[in-house]
Structure 1
Amino acid sequence: MNENGAMVVFSGGQDSTTCLFWALERFKNVEAVTFDYNQRHKLEIECAKNIAKEFGVQHTILDMSLLSQLTANALTREDIAIAKGSDGELPTTFVDGRNMLFLTFAAVLAKQKNLRHIVTGVCETDFSGYPDCRDIFVKSLNVTLNLAMDYQFVVHTPLMWINKAQTWEMADVMGKLDFIREKTLTCYYGILGSGCGQCPACVLRNNGLQEYLISRGR
């Protein structure tokens, strides 16, 4: 058990909740931070609060509503349809600068609490092509944060090189498969558990679960 503490960037979804449990197994002191950026699936904030409370994790919610004023996307504007990108374009759910800002503010908060480890659930194996989920971005920002605050952060990305089926497997190994399956919110329309089944986030989540359950049955 690492005596140093960790700050988990936490949305209450499958990936960040898996990372929360990953951190709880490794760090003596774990806190979580959730960002309110006027997302249309705002129920995820309540979901994150409930999970943090259930597991006794100190939880901070930060107001990032400015983000929704700066960028037009389907997660903050109901007049923009949720859709996959076509002809090499990013999906309409991509929020410019979101992970950069989230990790930066998480680092500022972590430093105030004397925490040196930051955990985030970004992944570039099964994802929607978001540039701020890439390993090269996270490593670059890690260096920048250390230089900017003269503080030695370590940004952990436990899911970076695994797909959604393997993420479900990780949850199962930790004994948390059913919890994550039933009590997390990944759906862009704010539907708990398996969600709407149609949006890109639900398709990735549910396809990964089925793949894992089939492989587990062998």
Structure 2
Amino acid sequence: MKTPEKALVVLSGGQDSTTCLYWALQRFGAGNVEAVTFDYGQRHRIELDCARDIATMAGVVQHVLPIDTFAAIGGNALTDSGIEPEDGVRADHDKTLPNTFVPGRNLVFLTFAAALAYTRGIRHLVTGVAQTDYSGYPDCREDTLKALEVAIRLGMETRLEIHAPLMYLSKAETVFLARDVGALGALAHSHTCYNGEQPPCGHCASCLLRAKGFAEAGIPDPLVERTGGR
């Protein structure tokens, strides 16, 4: 009898990673999916609470790994309390990166996740990064993930695969996917606001993009409905 394939999902507690968690459950099956969450010194600790609650709802084992180096480096709005996240969504022609970009974050996350997967006998990593993300983070691009996958395979002598189900989806399409894989209930307990607010602040880039996606999909945001937000 063939041993079932297993997957490890990088779970931040946000909309995209929650959708990917339920995508993985549908693809690999209950009992074959685990989650890893990184405590990287993020200023909004609510993310960790949301990730824990969502993992419990999904019935998956969650690993929480401490990485405080990003907080020590600082210089971005997600780990440095002295920097406020920028409001609004940047124009397509604006090539500068927003101050919410944490340099190297996804590279480090996926490398640590691969190390954990190696010890757990798991060869599939799932991440919610998307090249269509309007923030333009370079570590969300497919080329970056493909290069990292090659490096991990060589460095760990493993057949590990990195899956990014949302890579080329619009925000509306990610909402449809969440609906199709049964993630909408869990999204009521997710968190994406750069200002760490619940109900969502409604004016940071993350809130605006999330609201736009649900509006274009014609589906009410479960989080907004639960918290009475905008």
Identity of aligned residues (%): 49
Q: Look up the match of 2:228.
A: none
Establish whether residue 190 from structure 1 lines up as the match of residue 196 from structure 2.
yes
For these two proteins, the number of residue pairs brought into alignment is 212
SS in 1 for 2:109: helix
Match of 1:53 among 52, 56, 59: 56
CA distance in 2, matches of 1:117, 1:81: 36
> Offset at 1:85?
6.3
Establish whether residue 44 from structure 1 lines up as the match of residue 51 from structure 2.
no
> Offset at 1:178?
4.2
Establish whether residue 169 from structure 1 lines up as the match of residue 176 from structure 2.
yes
**What does the per-residue CA deviation read over 1:60-115, in whole Å, with 9 as the maximum and x for residues that have no partner?**
11111112212410001121121166853200000000000000000000000000
Establish whether residue 116 from structure 1 lines up as the match of residue 116 from structure 2.
no
CA distance in 1, matches of 2:71, 2:182: 36
TM-score (norm 1): 0.92
Moved over 6 A (4+): none
Q: Say whether the 8 Å CA contact 2:90–2:134 is kept in structure 1.
A: no
Q: Which runs of 5+ in 2 are unaligned?
A: 220-230
SS in 1 for 2:4: strand
What is the Cα-based RMSD across aligned positions, in Å?
1.8
Q: Look up the match of 1:144.
A: 151
CA distance in 1, matches of 2:116, 2:26: 22
More deviation in 69-78 or 133-142? Answer: 69-78
Counting only pairs closer than 5 Å after superposition, residues 58-73 of structure 1 correspond to structure 2 as: 58-73=61-76
Q: Say whether the 8 Å CA contact 2:18–2:183 is kept in structure 1.
A: no
Q: Say whether the 8 Å CA contact 1:41–1:187 is kept in structure 2.
A: no
Counting only pairs closer than 5 Å after superposition, residues 151-166 of structure 1 correspond to structure 2 as: 151-166=158-173
Match of 2:207 among 202, 211, 216: 202
CA distance in 1, matches of 2:103, 2:82: 18
Match of 2:102 among 77, 81, 95: 95
**What does the per-residue CA deviation read over 1:192-216, in whole Å, with 9 as the maximum and x for residues that have no partner?**
4x611111111111111101017xx
Counting only pairs closer than 5 Å after superposition, residues 119-138 of structure 1 correspond to structure 2 as: 119-138=126-145
**What does the per-residue CA deviation read over 1:132-163, in whole Å, with 9 as the maximum and x for residues that have no partner?**
00000000000000000001100000000101
Q: Say whether the 8 Å CA contact 2:153–2:160 is kept in structure 1.
A: yes
CA distance in 2, matches of 1:43, 1:85: 25
Paired residue type of 2:102: V
